[in-house]
Every structure is written in C-alpha cells, then in structure tokens.
Amino acid sequence: MRAWRQSIVPPIVFGVLLILIVILLGATWNLALLQVPGTWQRVFEPGSWGRPLMLVAGTLLFLAVIAGLVLYVVFLAQQIRANQLQQNVMDAVTHEFRSPLTSLRLALDTLRRKEVPADEARMFLGMMADDCDRLQDLVERVLEAGRLEAGSRSYRLEDVPMRQLLADLTGRLRLRLRLADSCIRLPDREAWVRADADALDLVCTNLLENAVKYSPEDRIEVVVTLRAGRVPGQVALVVVDQGIGWAPGNERRIFRRFVRLGDEMTRRRKGIGLGLYLARSMVMGMGGSIEATSPGVGRGAVFTVSLPGRMDGEDPDRRG
C-alpha cells in the first residue's frame, strides 16, 4: 500500500497543478466576437487585465514544472533505495540459507561416500543437527515476522519467572554457541513478569544472541540485570554488551524489519535483520516497551525491556 501511494501521488499532484494553471490561463483571456463582412468570427484575445495575470500564471506554471520534476526525482530515488534494500535483503537471506545447506550437503556426502570412524561420524551428525537448528530458526523467524505483519499473532499472558527463564535460555546458548560460563552474567534476584512465555523466550533469545554475536570474539561480556522499572508496577530487563555499538541516530532504525547496520555482503556476522524487529513487536504486543542506546561505534550497547511485573519481595498487589 505504501509503495502504491508513493507511485501514484507524484503524478496526481503534478496533474492537479497543471490543470489549475490551465484554468488560470483560460480565465485571463476574453471571448470576443468580431464582425467580418458577411460573417461573425469567434476569437480569443487577452483582456486588459490579462497580461499581468498571464505573467503570474506563467511563473506559477514554471514553478509547477520544477516542483513536478523534483517530486519525480525524489520518487525515483526512493524507489532505487527500496530496490537496493530489497536486493540486499534477498542476498542476505540467500546467503543465510545457503551456508547451512552447503554444510549439510558436505556432511551427507562425506558419510555416504566413505566409511568414517565413529567419533568422526558423531562429529558430522552434530554439525548436521546444528545446521538443521539454524535453518529451522531462520524459517521460524521469517514466519513469525509474517504473522506479526499480518496482525495474527496472539499472546497468552501469565506470570513468568524471569530469572529462571534466563537461566534456562543461557544454558542452551552456552551449549549451542560454545560459550564459557563467564561470558553471560545473570541477575541475582528473581522477578515475575506478565507475559507470553514463548514470546518472552524469543525476545530474550534475540537480545542475548545479538549481544554475543556483535561482541569481539576474544571479549564476550554480556551482563543481564533485572530491576524495578521507571514506571511503578513494571520490571526492566537490561542487557549490556561490549560489542560494536552504532552511531547516534540509529536507535529507532535498528528495530525495523530486515535492517542491519552496514553493508549486507561484507559483514562477518550472520543474520537477516529480523531479531530486533521481532523483539520490539512482541514486547509491544505484550503491553511493554523496548529501547536501545549506544555510546558510539565500538563502545557496546544497552537494551532495556520493560514489562508489567514485580521484583522478588515486592507486593504482588502493587503490580500495574
């Protein structure tokens, strides 16, 4: 719908301006009847007040033409940028799907063509399982983005123990990403939030995976804390990393669908730019908010998710 509006609005605006100018020009001319011997002829001639108005009308027509050209150039630039973004997205998606498929094919060909020791076979099977998990994760994220875009995502809200969910999630991430225990520091206090457990698990997964993925490989330090939110009756989940960060002004842009800062094909980090979009959409769908800040490029980032809930020891009746 947005692309249709962008494609039809500039010609309509230019056409309306042109019609108004033609009407104005017509109003500056008088219809005169001249008697020629034996006949009557109708001719148009400028009225006494028409010449100054024609000058104004000509100026407006010139400005309208210039404005129409500017609008058309802007429209073309937007279309070129949209096409380039779409191409970047398709390249990134194709690359993300091709990598695990290639790895799967290599492992299958190796196991099929020759006898391999049991230990090596187990290694190949583990690699294949990881590739299948990665493909399934990509498909689920794309499908989830489609459901959110269509407005068909529903949430079943319940009291979810936040620290326990984070502990289970971190255990899975440490195994899958082969992380040391010290890479992710969990909060000390428990908190209960009113949320959909599956959606909240996906939100936290995306935030922690991003924090790890965009951190230097030799210095992965992710700190997760739980505290009372700025609004009474809310709990704030804060994820702090020491990763690449971003330049000021990109705080909102990083939550858009298929947006990844930098060039799609030269970056080393994997992904298609859906994680933060899903996180923001789900948090808002559960009645919360999410914000991101960064001191600058190379200086890490802070993500804060606020949801209705209470910290351990607080009165449940005070929750919003």
Range of the domain at 107: 91-150
For the domain that residue 123 is a member of, what is the CATH number?
1.10.287.130
For the ranges 117-121, 151-155, 272-276, the one whose mean pLDDT is highest: 117-121
The answer to whether residues 143 and 237 belong to one domain is no
Name the residue among 25, 59, 57, 62 with its Cα closest to residue 44.
Answer: 25
**pLDDT for the residue 148:** 74
Contact between 252 and 291 under an 8 Å Cβ cutoff? The reply is no
145 in a structural domain: yes
Q: Is there a single domain that holds both residue 273 and residue 172?
A: yes
Do 206 and 266 fall into the same domain?
Answer: yes
Q: Tokens 């730019």 — which residue?
A: 273
Position with higher pLDDT, 206 vs 7: 206
Is there a single domain that holds both residue 144 and residue 165?
A: no
Model confidence at 168, pLDDT cuts 50, 70, 90, reads very high
Is residue 288 assigned to a domain?
Answer: yes
C-alpha to C-alpha distance for 222 and 302, rounded to whole angstroms: 10
End-to-end CA gap in the chain: 37
DSSP string, 55-84: HHHHHHHHHHHHHHHHHHHHHHHHHHHHHH
- 138 with 274, same domain: the answer is no
Q: Are residues 222 and 113 part of one domain?
A: no
Spatial contact of 163 and 190, defined as CB atoms under 8 Å apart: yes
- For the cut 80, the answer to whether the pLDDT of residue 45 exceeds it is no
Residues 44 and 165 occupy one common structural domain = no
User: In the listed set 83, 106, 124, which residue is the last one of a domain according to the structure?
Assistant: 83
Residues in the chain: 320
- Which has the minimum average pLDDT: 78-92, 106-120, 139-153, 235-249? 78-92
Same domain, 288 and 310: yes
Instruction: Indicate whether 172 and 223 sit together in one domain.
Output: yes
DSSP-H helix ranges across the chain = 2-27, 50-113, 118-150, 162-177, 197-213, 275-285
- In 10 A of CB 306, how many CB atoms? 20
More confident residue, 55 or 5: 55
Q: Write out pLDDT tens, residues 76-106.
A: 777 777 666 666 666 666 666 777 788 788 8
In this predicted model, which residue has the larger pLDDT, 227 or 17? 227
3-state SS, residue 35? strand
Radius of gyration, CA atoms only, the chain: 31
pLDDT tens, position by position, 174-214: 887 888 888 999 999 999 999 999 899 989 998 998 899 88
> Does residue 171 share a domain with residue 98?
no
Cβ-based neighbours of 28, under 8 Å, separated by 6 or more: 46, 47, 49, 50, 53, 54, 57
Query: Residue 88 has what pLDDT?
Result: 60
- Please tell me which of 11-25, 57-71, 198-212, 258-272 the model is most confident about, judged by mean pLDDT: 198-212
Question: Kind and range of the H or E element at 302?
Answer: strand 301-311
Give the confidence band of 220 by pLDDT, cuts at 50, 70, 90.
Answer: confident
* 73 plus 139 within the same structural domain: no
In the listed set 129, 150, 171, which residue is the last one of a domain according to the structure?
A: 150
Q: How many domains does the chain have?
A: 3
Same domain, 70 and 113: no
Distance between CA 264 and CA 181 in Å, rounded? Answer: 31
Q: Residue 112: inside a domain, yes or no?
A: yes
Q: Considering the domain boundaries, does residue 155 fall inside one?
A: no
Q: Rounded to an integer, what distance in angstroms lies between the CA atom of residue 205 and that of residue 192? A: 18
pLDDT for res 30: 47
- For residue 155, the SS3 value is coil
pLDDT at position 248 over 80:
yes
Place of tokens 């923001």: 280
Distances (CA, A) of 6 to 11, 74, 285, 294: 10, 10, 29, 33
